[in-house]
Structure 1
Amino acid sequence: MQYVPAPAPAGEISMWPAELASPNLPAVCLKTGQPAAGYHTLKLVPPDLWVLTLLLGPFFVPGVKTRIPFARRPLTVLSSLMLVRVLTSMLTAACLIAAYFVPNAPRTLLFIAVLLSAGVTYSSYILYFLQVRVGEVYRGSTGESWVRLHPVHPNFVAAVEAWRALREAAMREPAAYSADLRWHWNGAQWVSTLPAGMSKTSAASPRRRIPWWQVAAAMLIGWALLGGLA
Protein backbone atom coordinates (compact mmCIF):
# COMPACT_ATOMS: atom_id res chain seq x y z
CA MET A 1 0.00 0.00 0.00
CA GLN A 2 1.44 3.35 -1.03
CA TYR A 3 1.93 5.96 1.66
CA VAL A 4 -0.21 9.07 1.20
CA PRO A 5 1.01 12.25 2.94
CA ALA A 6 -1.43 14.17 5.10
CA PRO A 7 -3.36 16.98 3.36
CA ALA A 8 -1.46 20.26 3.48
CA PRO A 9 -3.00 23.32 5.17
CA ALA A 10 -4.03 26.38 3.17
CA GLY A 11 -1.06 28.03 1.50
CA GLU A 12 0.84 24.75 1.35
CA ILE A 13 0.92 21.71 -0.92
CA SER A 14 2.37 18.22 -0.53
CA MET A 15 4.11 16.76 -3.58
CA TRP A 16 6.15 13.73 -4.51
CA PRO A 17 9.77 14.26 -5.61
CA ALA A 18 8.91 12.70 -8.98
CA GLU A 19 6.28 15.39 -9.52
CA LEU A 20 8.77 18.16 -8.81
CA ALA A 21 11.24 16.57 -11.24
CA SER A 22 8.68 16.15 -14.02
CA PRO A 23 9.24 18.22 -17.20
CA ASN A 24 5.45 18.65 -17.37
CA LEU A 25 5.15 20.38 -13.99
CA PRO A 26 2.78 23.35 -14.51
CA ALA A 27 4.65 26.51 -15.48
CA VAL A 28 3.03 28.62 -12.77
CA CYS A 29 5.17 30.59 -10.33
CA LEU A 30 5.08 29.07 -6.87
CA LYS A 31 5.35 32.47 -5.19
CA THR A 32 3.34 34.86 -7.37
CA GLY A 33 0.94 32.61 -9.28
CA GLN A 34 1.98 34.25 -12.56
CA PRO A 35 3.16 32.33 -15.64
CA ALA A 36 6.65 31.07 -14.90
CA ALA A 37 9.63 32.52 -16.73
CA GLY A 38 11.78 29.50 -15.92
CA TYR A 39 12.58 26.72 -13.49
CA HIS A 40 15.17 26.99 -10.74
CA THR A 41 16.84 23.80 -9.56
CA LEU A 42 17.32 23.68 -5.81
CA LYS A 43 17.73 21.16 -3.03
CA LEU A 44 15.16 20.83 -0.27
CA VAL A 45 16.16 19.21 3.02
CA PRO A 46 14.38 17.89 6.14
CA PRO A 47 13.23 20.60 8.58
CA ASP A 48 15.77 19.59 11.22
CA LEU A 49 18.69 20.08 8.81
CA TRP A 50 18.09 23.68 7.71
CA VAL A 51 20.63 25.12 10.15
CA LEU A 52 23.24 22.60 9.04
CA THR A 53 22.47 23.46 5.42
CA LEU A 54 22.92 27.15 6.16
CA LEU A 55 26.32 26.50 7.74
CA LEU A 56 27.73 23.87 5.38
CA GLY A 57 25.76 24.39 2.19
CA PRO A 58 23.40 21.96 0.46
CA PHE A 59 26.15 19.71 -0.93
CA PHE A 60 26.85 17.99 2.39
CA VAL A 61 23.24 17.54 3.55
CA PRO A 62 20.84 14.83 2.32
CA GLY A 63 17.74 16.10 0.58
CA VAL A 64 15.64 16.10 -2.58
CA LYS A 65 16.58 17.91 -5.78
CA THR A 66 13.63 19.82 -7.24
CA ARG A 67 12.75 22.09 -10.17
CA ILE A 68 10.64 24.99 -8.95
CA PRO A 69 8.85 27.31 -11.41
CA PHE A 70 9.34 31.03 -10.78
CA ALA A 71 8.18 34.21 -12.48
CA ARG A 72 10.73 36.57 -13.98
CA ARG A 73 11.25 38.77 -10.92
CA PRO A 74 12.00 36.06 -8.31
CA LEU A 75 14.05 34.18 -10.88
CA THR A 76 16.13 37.30 -11.54
CA VAL A 77 16.66 37.79 -7.80
CA LEU A 78 17.91 34.23 -7.40
CA SER A 79 20.23 34.35 -10.41
CA SER A 80 21.58 37.74 -9.28
CA LEU A 81 22.40 36.42 -5.81
CA MET A 82 24.14 33.43 -7.36
CA LEU A 83 26.13 35.71 -9.65
CA VAL A 84 27.20 37.93 -6.74
CA ARG A 85 28.30 34.87 -4.77
CA VAL A 86 30.37 33.50 -7.64
CA LEU A 87 32.03 36.81 -8.51
CA THR A 88 32.88 37.74 -4.92
CA SER A 89 34.29 34.25 -4.37
CA MET A 90 36.54 34.78 -7.37
CA LEU A 91 37.54 38.18 -6.02
CA THR A 92 38.39 36.67 -2.62
CA ALA A 93 40.58 34.03 -4.24
CA ALA A 94 42.28 36.59 -6.48
CA CYS A 95 43.10 38.87 -3.55
CA LEU A 96 44.55 35.99 -1.55
CA ILE A 97 46.72 34.90 -4.48
CA ALA A 98 47.90 38.46 -5.02
CA ALA A 99 48.68 38.94 -1.32
CA TYR A 100 50.91 35.87 -1.12
CA PHE A 101 52.45 35.56 -4.57
CA VAL A 102 52.67 39.07 -6.05
CA PRO A 103 55.88 40.89 -5.03
CA ASN A 104 55.46 44.20 -3.18
CA ALA A 105 51.69 43.75 -3.06
CA PRO A 106 49.78 45.93 -0.54
CA ARG A 107 48.93 43.02 1.72
CA THR A 108 46.97 45.05 4.26
CA LEU A 109 44.61 46.38 1.62
CA LEU A 110 44.34 42.97 0.00
CA PHE A 111 43.45 41.28 3.28
CA ILE A 112 40.81 43.94 3.91
CA ALA A 113 39.44 43.24 0.44
CA VAL A 114 39.43 39.51 1.25
CA LEU A 115 37.38 40.09 4.40
CA LEU A 116 34.93 42.39 2.64
CA SER A 117 34.44 40.16 -0.39
CA ALA A 118 34.10 37.06 1.79
CA GLY A 119 31.47 38.88 3.84
CA VAL A 120 29.54 39.78 0.71
CA THR A 121 29.83 36.18 -0.50
CA TYR A 122 28.34 34.73 2.65
CA SER A 123 25.71 37.47 2.92
CA SER A 124 24.53 36.76 -0.62
CA TYR A 125 24.40 33.05 0.23
CA ILE A 126 22.23 33.74 3.29
CA LEU A 127 19.86 35.89 1.22
CA TYR A 128 19.73 33.18 -1.45
CA PHE A 129 19.11 30.54 1.22
CA LEU A 130 16.16 32.51 2.61
CA GLN A 131 14.70 32.98 -0.88
CA VAL A 132 14.86 29.29 -1.81
CA ARG A 133 13.54 27.96 1.47
CA VAL A 134 10.20 27.07 -0.07
CA GLY A 135 9.59 23.71 1.59
CA GLU A 136 10.88 20.72 3.53
CA VAL A 137 11.37 17.03 2.91
CA TYR A 138 9.57 14.46 5.05
CA ARG A 139 9.71 10.69 5.15
CA GLY A 140 6.62 8.54 5.58
CA SER A 141 6.22 5.36 7.60
CA THR A 142 7.02 3.29 4.51
CA GLY A 143 10.28 5.14 3.91
CA GLU A 144 9.01 7.17 0.95
CA SER A 145 10.06 10.81 0.84
CA TRP A 146 7.64 13.60 0.05
CA VAL A 147 7.90 17.38 -0.05
CA ARG A 148 5.70 20.02 1.53
CA LEU A 149 5.98 23.38 -0.22
CA HIS A 150 5.06 26.60 1.55
CA PRO A 151 4.06 29.33 1.22
CA VAL A 152 2.58 28.75 -2.22
CA HIS A 153 0.21 30.86 -4.29
CA PRO A 154 -3.34 29.48 -4.75
CA ASN A 155 -2.84 29.58 -8.53
CA PHE A 156 0.06 27.15 -8.22
CA VAL A 157 -1.99 24.80 -6.04
CA ALA A 158 -4.89 24.91 -8.51
CA ALA A 159 -2.55 24.28 -11.46
CA VAL A 160 -0.95 21.27 -9.74
CA GLU A 161 -4.33 19.79 -8.79
CA ALA A 162 -5.60 20.20 -12.36
CA TRP A 163 -2.38 18.63 -13.66
CA ARG A 164 -2.81 15.67 -11.33
CA ALA A 165 -6.39 15.19 -12.52
CA LEU A 166 -5.17 15.18 -16.12
CA ARG A 167 -2.51 12.60 -15.29
CA GLU A 168 -5.09 10.32 -13.72
CA ALA A 169 -7.37 10.72 -16.73
CA ALA A 170 -4.45 10.01 -19.07
CA MET A 171 -3.66 6.81 -17.16
CA ARG A 172 -7.24 5.63 -17.73
CA GLU A 173 -7.29 6.70 -21.40
CA PRO A 174 -3.68 7.07 -22.58
CA ALA A 175 -4.64 7.31 -26.26
CA ALA A 176 -6.91 10.28 -25.61
CA TYR A 177 -4.17 12.60 -24.31
CA SER A 178 -0.94 13.96 -25.74
CA ALA A 179 2.37 13.17 -24.05
CA ASP A 180 2.56 16.63 -22.44
CA LEU A 181 -1.12 16.42 -21.33
CA ARG A 182 -1.94 19.69 -23.09
CA TRP A 183 -4.25 18.15 -25.69
CA HIS A 184 -7.24 15.84 -25.38
CA TRP A 185 -8.96 13.87 -28.13
CA ASN A 186 -12.73 14.29 -27.66
CA GLY A 187 -13.60 11.81 -30.36
CA ALA A 188 -13.69 14.32 -33.18
CA GLN A 189 -10.69 16.62 -32.71
CA TRP A 190 -7.85 17.56 -30.41
CA VAL A 191 -8.84 20.22 -27.86
CA SER A 192 -6.60 22.10 -25.46
CA THR A 193 -6.59 21.11 -21.79
CA LEU A 194 -5.15 24.47 -20.73
CA PRO A 195 -7.26 26.59 -18.36
CA ALA A 196 -9.29 29.37 -19.90
CA GLY A 197 -7.24 32.53 -20.29
CA MET A 198 -3.87 30.76 -20.50
CA SER A 199 -2.29 30.86 -23.91
CA LYS A 200 -0.25 28.04 -25.36
CA THR A 201 2.74 30.36 -25.46
CA SER A 202 2.64 31.12 -21.74
CA ALA A 203 2.14 27.44 -20.93
CA ALA A 204 5.07 26.32 -23.05
CA SER A 205 8.15 25.13 -21.24
CA PRO A 206 9.91 28.36 -20.24
CA ARG A 207 13.55 28.90 -20.95
CA ARG A 208 15.74 30.49 -18.37
CA ARG A 209 17.57 33.50 -19.77
CA ILE A 210 20.33 35.44 -18.07
CA PRO A 211 19.71 39.22 -18.09
CA TRP A 212 22.15 41.22 -20.19
CA TRP A 213 23.29 43.33 -17.24
CA GLN A 214 24.43 40.23 -15.36
CA VAL A 215 26.52 39.11 -18.32
CA ALA A 216 28.02 42.60 -18.64
CA ALA A 217 28.81 42.77 -14.90
CA ALA A 218 30.47 39.36 -14.98
CA MET A 219 32.61 40.35 -17.96
CA LEU A 220 33.69 43.65 -16.38
CA ILE A 221 34.63 42.06 -13.07
CA GLY A 222 36.41 39.23 -14.86
CA TRP A 223 38.47 41.69 -16.88
CA ALA A 224 39.27 43.63 -13.71
CA LEU A 225 40.48 40.47 -11.97
CA LEU A 226 42.64 39.47 -14.92
CA GLY A 227 44.07 42.98 -15.13
CA GLY A 228 44.88 43.01 -11.42
CA LEU A 229 46.71 39.70 -11.61
CA ALA A 230 48.56 40.51 -14.82
Structure 2
Amino acid sequence: MAKALPAPYEALGDSPNLIDVERDDLAACEAAINNLRIAYWAAGKALQVIRDARLYRADYPTFEEYCEQRWDMSRSYANRLIRAWPLTERLVPIGTKDPSEGQVRELLPLAAHHGEDAAVTVYQTVIETDGVRVTAAVLKGAVDAIPEGDFDATEAVKHIRAYLAQLGASENTTPEIDAVESFTAETGRLRTILQRVVKRDILRGAARDHPEEVRQTLTELRTLLDEIERSAFQEHR
Protein backbone atom coordinates (compact mmCIF):
# COMPACT_ATOMS: atom_id res chain seq x y z
CA MET A 1 0.00 0.00 0.00
CA ALA A 2 2.81 2.43 0.84
CA LYS A 3 4.30 2.01 -2.62
CA ALA A 4 1.07 3.35 -4.13
CA LEU A 5 1.23 6.53 -2.08
CA PRO A 6 2.79 9.71 -3.47
CA ALA A 7 6.23 10.67 -2.25
CA PRO A 8 6.08 13.41 0.42
CA TYR A 9 6.03 16.86 -1.17
CA GLU A 10 5.68 20.50 -0.17
CA ALA A 11 2.28 22.16 -0.36
CA LEU A 12 1.33 23.25 -3.88
CA GLY A 13 -0.20 26.50 -2.70
CA ASP A 14 -1.43 28.57 0.22
CA SER A 15 -5.12 28.44 -0.63
CA PRO A 16 -7.23 26.52 1.88
CA ASN A 17 -8.99 24.88 -1.07
CA LEU A 18 -7.30 21.75 -2.40
CA ILE A 19 -6.82 21.21 -6.10
CA ASP A 20 -7.84 17.90 -7.72
CA VAL A 21 -4.46 16.19 -7.36
CA GLU A 22 -4.28 17.21 -3.69
CA ARG A 23 -7.76 15.85 -3.01
CA ASP A 24 -6.81 12.57 -4.69
CA ASP A 25 -3.61 12.37 -2.64
CA LEU A 26 -5.51 13.13 0.56
CA ALA A 27 -8.02 10.36 -0.16
CA ALA A 28 -5.24 7.85 -0.85
CA CYS A 29 -3.36 8.87 2.29
CA GLU A 30 -6.42 8.71 4.53
CA ALA A 31 -7.21 5.23 3.21
CA ALA A 32 -3.71 4.18 4.27
CA ILE A 33 -4.10 5.74 7.71
CA ASN A 34 -7.44 3.98 8.11
CA ASN A 35 -5.56 0.70 7.69
CA LEU A 36 -3.12 1.64 10.47
CA ARG A 37 -3.61 -1.64 12.32
CA ILE A 38 -2.38 -3.74 9.41
CA ALA A 39 0.14 -1.37 7.82
CA TYR A 40 1.39 1.20 10.31
CA TRP A 41 4.31 2.14 8.08
CA ALA A 42 2.01 2.99 5.17
CA ALA A 43 0.12 5.19 7.63
CA GLY A 44 3.39 6.87 8.55
CA LYS A 45 4.18 7.69 4.95
CA ALA A 46 0.62 8.92 4.41
CA LEU A 47 0.85 11.18 7.44
CA GLN A 48 4.09 12.70 6.16
CA VAL A 49 2.51 13.44 2.78
CA ILE A 50 -0.45 15.12 4.50
CA ARG A 51 1.82 17.06 6.86
CA ASP A 52 4.39 18.23 4.32
CA ALA A 53 1.85 19.15 1.64
CA ARG A 54 -0.55 20.59 4.24
CA LEU A 55 -3.39 18.55 2.77
CA TYR A 56 -5.27 19.02 6.02
CA ARG A 57 -5.62 22.77 5.48
CA ALA A 58 -9.10 22.69 3.93
CA ASP A 59 -10.67 21.49 7.19
CA TYR A 60 -8.08 21.91 9.95
CA PRO A 61 -5.82 24.82 10.87
CA THR A 62 -2.89 22.66 11.99
CA PHE A 63 -1.53 19.16 11.44
CA GLU A 64 -1.81 18.50 15.17
CA GLU A 65 -5.55 19.25 15.16
CA TYR A 66 -5.97 17.11 12.06
CA CYS A 67 -4.36 14.14 13.81
CA GLU A 68 -6.32 14.56 17.00
CA GLN A 69 -9.75 15.34 15.55
CA ARG A 70 -9.64 13.17 12.43
CA TRP A 71 -7.84 10.14 13.83
CA ASP A 72 -7.85 10.44 17.65
CA MET A 73 -4.07 10.40 17.34
CA SER A 74 -1.56 12.50 19.24
CA ARG A 75 0.96 14.56 17.29
CA SER A 76 3.80 12.70 19.02
CA TYR A 77 2.46 9.32 17.87
CA ALA A 78 2.03 10.63 14.33
CA ASN A 79 5.63 11.81 14.41
CA ARG A 80 6.78 8.35 15.54
CA LEU A 81 4.98 6.77 12.60
CA ILE A 82 6.53 9.29 10.23
CA ARG A 83 10.02 8.59 11.55
CA ALA A 84 9.51 4.84 11.26
CA TRP A 85 8.18 4.38 7.75
CA PRO A 86 11.35 4.90 5.62
CA LEU A 87 13.27 2.26 7.59
CA THR A 88 10.29 -0.10 7.72
CA GLU A 89 9.92 0.11 3.96
CA ARG A 90 13.46 -1.22 3.66
CA LEU A 91 12.94 -3.98 6.22
CA VAL A 92 9.64 -5.36 4.87
CA PRO A 93 11.14 -7.25 1.88
CA ILE A 94 13.75 -8.98 4.07
CA GLY A 95 11.54 -11.39 5.99
CA THR A 96 8.35 -13.34 5.49
CA LYS A 97 6.59 -11.26 8.15
CA ASP A 98 6.51 -7.47 8.35
CA PRO A 99 8.39 -6.01 11.33
CA SER A 100 6.21 -4.64 14.10
CA GLU A 101 6.20 -1.01 15.10
CA GLY A 102 7.95 -1.92 18.37
CA GLN A 103 10.69 -3.79 16.50
CA VAL A 104 11.40 -0.88 14.19
CA ARG A 105 11.43 1.53 17.14
CA GLU A 106 14.41 -0.34 18.63
CA LEU A 107 16.35 0.15 15.38
CA LEU A 108 15.59 3.81 14.80
CA PRO A 109 18.30 5.25 17.13
CA LEU A 110 20.92 3.14 15.34
CA ALA A 111 19.61 4.28 11.95
CA ALA A 112 19.68 7.91 13.09
CA HIS A 113 23.28 7.62 14.30
CA HIS A 114 24.84 5.31 11.69
CA GLY A 115 22.38 5.28 8.81
CA GLU A 116 19.64 2.92 7.67
CA ASP A 117 22.15 0.41 6.28
CA ALA A 118 23.35 -0.28 9.83
CA ALA A 119 19.80 -0.94 11.02
CA VAL A 120 19.16 -3.21 8.03
CA THR A 121 22.32 -5.18 8.87
CA VAL A 122 21.11 -5.77 12.43
CA TYR A 123 17.62 -6.80 11.37
CA GLN A 124 18.84 -9.10 8.61
CA THR A 125 21.38 -10.79 10.91
CA VAL A 126 18.70 -11.49 13.52
CA ILE A 127 16.05 -12.66 11.08
CA GLU A 128 18.47 -15.02 9.31
CA THR A 129 19.58 -16.71 12.54
CA ASP A 130 17.91 -20.08 12.96
CA GLY A 131 16.02 -20.69 16.19
CA VAL A 132 15.70 -17.02 17.11
CA ARG A 133 12.29 -15.42 17.38
CA VAL A 134 12.46 -11.80 16.20
CA THR A 135 11.05 -9.48 18.86
CA ALA A 136 11.64 -5.89 19.87
CA ALA A 137 13.63 -7.03 22.91
CA VAL A 138 15.87 -9.29 20.82
CA LEU A 139 16.57 -6.45 18.39
CA LYS A 140 17.35 -4.11 21.29
CA GLY A 141 19.80 -6.67 22.64
CA ALA A 142 21.38 -7.02 19.20
CA VAL A 143 21.82 -3.26 18.92
CA ASP A 144 23.30 -3.10 22.43
CA ALA A 145 25.78 -5.86 21.50
CA ILE A 146 27.37 -3.72 18.78
CA PRO A 147 30.70 -2.14 19.86
CA GLU A 148 30.69 1.61 20.39
CA GLY A 149 32.32 3.92 17.88
CA ASP A 150 32.08 3.87 14.10
CA PHE A 151 29.79 1.17 12.73
CA ASP A 152 31.63 -1.72 11.11
CA ALA A 153 29.24 -4.21 9.55
CA THR A 154 31.57 -7.20 9.88
CA GLU A 155 32.29 -6.53 13.55
CA ALA A 156 28.65 -5.79 14.22
CA VAL A 157 27.50 -9.09 12.71
CA LYS A 158 30.11 -11.00 14.74
CA HIS A 159 28.96 -9.48 18.03
CA ILE A 160 25.28 -9.86 17.19
CA ARG A 161 25.73 -13.56 16.39
CA ALA A 162 27.58 -14.06 19.68
CA TYR A 163 24.71 -12.38 21.52
CA LEU A 164 22.12 -14.50 19.69
CA ALA A 165 24.04 -17.70 20.43
CA GLN A 166 24.02 -16.85 24.11
CA LEU A 167 20.36 -15.96 23.89
CA GLY A 168 19.50 -19.30 22.34
CA ALA A 169 21.23 -21.14 25.17
CA SER A 170 18.63 -19.92 27.66
CA GLU A 171 15.32 -21.76 27.47
CA ASN A 172 13.52 -19.13 29.53
CA THR A 173 14.47 -16.12 27.44
CA THR A 174 11.73 -16.12 24.81
CA PRO A 175 8.70 -16.15 27.14
CA GLU A 176 10.14 -13.26 29.14
CA ILE A 177 10.86 -11.25 25.99
CA ASP A 178 7.36 -11.79 24.65
CA ALA A 179 5.86 -10.70 27.96
CA VAL A 180 7.91 -7.51 28.03
CA GLU A 181 6.99 -6.60 24.45
CA SER A 182 3.29 -7.27 25.02
CA PHE A 183 3.24 -5.33 28.28
CA THR A 184 4.96 -2.33 26.69
CA ALA A 185 2.58 -2.29 23.72
CA GLU A 186 -0.61 -2.63 25.75
CA THR A 187 0.32 -0.12 28.44
CA GLY A 188 1.37 2.31 25.71
CA ARG A 189 -2.12 2.15 24.20
CA LEU A 190 -3.70 2.62 27.62
CA ARG A 191 -1.48 5.61 28.37
CA THR A 192 -2.40 7.23 25.05
CA ILE A 193 -6.13 6.84 25.77
CA LEU A 194 -5.84 8.32 29.26
CA GLN A 195 -3.72 11.22 28.02
CA ARG A 196 -6.35 11.96 25.37
CA VAL A 197 -9.11 11.97 27.98
CA VAL A 198 -7.19 14.45 30.13
CA LYS A 199 -6.05 16.66 27.27
CA ARG A 200 -9.53 17.05 25.78
CA ASP A 201 -10.99 18.03 29.16
CA ILE A 202 -13.32 15.02 28.97
CA LEU A 203 -12.53 14.19 32.56
CA ARG A 204 -13.14 17.73 33.79
CA GLY A 205 -16.45 17.99 31.96
CA ALA A 206 -17.62 14.64 33.28
CA ALA A 207 -16.57 15.56 36.82
CA ARG A 208 -18.57 18.76 36.59
CA ASP A 209 -21.76 17.05 35.38
CA HIS A 210 -21.50 13.70 37.20
CA PRO A 211 -18.96 14.03 40.03
CA GLU A 212 -19.98 10.91 41.95
CA GLU A 213 -19.72 8.66 38.92
CA VAL A 214 -16.27 10.05 38.10
CA ARG A 215 -15.08 9.54 41.68
CA GLN A 216 -16.34 5.97 41.64
CA THR A 217 -14.63 5.24 38.33
CA LEU A 218 -11.32 6.72 39.49
CA THR A 219 -11.53 4.70 42.69
CA GLU A 220 -12.11 1.54 40.65
CA LEU A 221 -9.12 2.36 38.45
CA ARG A 222 -6.87 2.89 41.49
CA THR A 223 -8.06 -0.40 42.95
CA LEU A 224 -7.36 -2.17 39.67
CA LEU A 225 -3.84 -0.70 39.51
CA ASP A 226 -3.17 -1.84 43.07
CA GLU A 227 -4.31 -5.35 42.15
CA ILE A 228 -2.06 -5.34 39.07
CA GLU A 229 0.94 -4.26 41.16
CA ARG A 230 0.29 -6.92 43.80
CA SER A 231 -0.12 -9.60 41.13
CA ALA A 232 3.06 -8.54 39.28
CA PHE A 233 5.35 -8.52 42.29
CA GLN A 234 3.89 -11.12 44.62
CA GLU A 235 6.53 -13.67 43.57
CA HIS A 236 9.32 -11.27 44.53
CA ARG A 237 8.18 -10.74 48.12
TM-score range normalised by the length of the shorter chain: under 0.3
TM-score normalised according to structure 2 size: 0.27
More helix by share: 2
More strand by share: 1
Q: Which has the higher contact order (CA 8 A, sep 6+)?
A: 1
TM-score normalised according to structure 1 size: 0.28
